[in-house]
Amino acid sequence: MLLQNKNAIIYGAGGSLGSTVALAFAREGARVFLTGRNLAAVQKITNEIIDSGGKAEAAVVDALDEKAVNSHADTIVSKAGSFDISFNAIGLDDTQNIPLTEMSLVDFIRPVTIAMNTQFITSTAAGRIMMKQGSGVILSITATPGGIGYALVGGFGPACCAIEGFSRDLASELGPYGIRVVNIRSAGSPDSRPFAEAIANDSEVANSFIKKLEEDTMLKKLPLMADIANVAVFLASGMADKITGVTIDVTCGTTNGLNYKTPAIPFVKK
């Protein structure tokens, strides 16, 4: 198991991506501490992990509350002995599909503020503990707008860029203590909750949008949540112990250049 005897705290573990990563960490042997503002949501995933033979605990922790995050982290170290992996997957409450020239300042700045507050709070809480240990991995998640200009994403794009920049800077400070800091950039997963809800509300529009996103990629597909979780497992493991200070791109090639002009043509062997 890649994460045997590791203790991981996941913020936003009740969400579709956070829960998928929690399940993946547990399958690889990690003891997972799931947190969120909704106990029922994180407890459901915690029970699923325990029922499958894994180790997990749930707690109500607001990842925007510095005192709560620090207190919880200290409690975990006292209980488990170490804090080895931190992953922040909380939502940014962003508003999209409105031109920047028509968007209110409040809607634009909200995701940027949330992103920077929660990343600073959770990452520095982990960093202070990991510095004493001389080891640890801090992971974050962004999306396609972090690496390429993308219209109609409001403040979400700048928030992604800010998270990626913060991750690099933090990595440069914590590297001498044996701590790795890595960001994962996704293209959006069609099996995630936001997409599922969009399909339920208006399947025709949602499926058309997903098709557009797929056409933007070089591989003509989008990463599933399991793909993101697998990357997170790898980055948190010893197999990636020389990787830090970078964003790992899992956008199926989107941020290397929009590829909608190249259609998927069936290959016919002559």
Round to whole Å and give the CA distance between 71 and 103: 37
* Residue 29 within a domain: yes
Q: In the prediction, which pLDDT does 91 show?
A: 95
Q: What are phi and psi of 46, to 5 degrees?
A: -60, -45
Give me the CATH number covering residue 95: 3.40.50.720
* Residue 216 within a domain: no
* Residue 112 within a domain: yes
Cα angle value 170/159/258 (rounded, 5°)? 105
Query: Percentage of the chain surpassing pLDDT 70?
Result: 95
Query: Residue 158 — pLDDT band, cuts 50, 70, 90?
Result: very high
Q: In the prediction, which pLDDT does 4 show?
A: 97
Please tell me the total count of domains within the chain: 1
**2-34 pLDDT tens trace:** 999 999 999 999 999 999 999 999 999 999 999
Domain limits for position 70: 7-188+222-256
Q: In the prediction, which pLDDT does 268 show?
A: 60
- Check pLDDT > 70 for residue 178: yes
Nearest alpha-carbon partner for 87 in 67, 63, 59: 63
**39-66 pLDDT tens trace:** 999 999 999 999 999 999 999 999 999 9
Query: Residue 266 — pLDDT band, cuts 50, 70, 90?
Result: low
Name the average pLDDT for the chain.
94
- Mark out the alpha helices in 176-239 (DSSP H runs): 193-201, 203-216, 225-236
* Residue 25 within a domain: yes
Round to whole Å and give the CA distance between 170 and 269: 50
**220-249 pLDDT tens trace:** 999 999 999 999 999 999 999 999 999 999
- Check pLDDT > 80 for residue 265: no
Spatial contact of 76 and 119, defined as CB atoms under 8 Å apart: no
- Check pLDDT > 70 for residue 136: yes
Q: In the prediction, which pLDDT does 260 show?
A: 63
Query: Percentage of the chain surpassing pLDDT 90?
Result: 83
Q: In the prediction, which pLDDT does 101 show?
A: 97
* Residue 27 within a domain: yes
* Residue 194 within a domain: no
**90-117 pLDDT tens trace:** 999 999 999 999 999 999 999 999 999 9
Query: Residue 202 — pLDDT band, cuts 50, 70, 90?
Result: confident
* Residue 134 within a domain: yes
* Residue 1 within a domain: no
**Residue at 21: amino acid letter:** V
- Does residue 139 sit in helix, strand or coil? strand
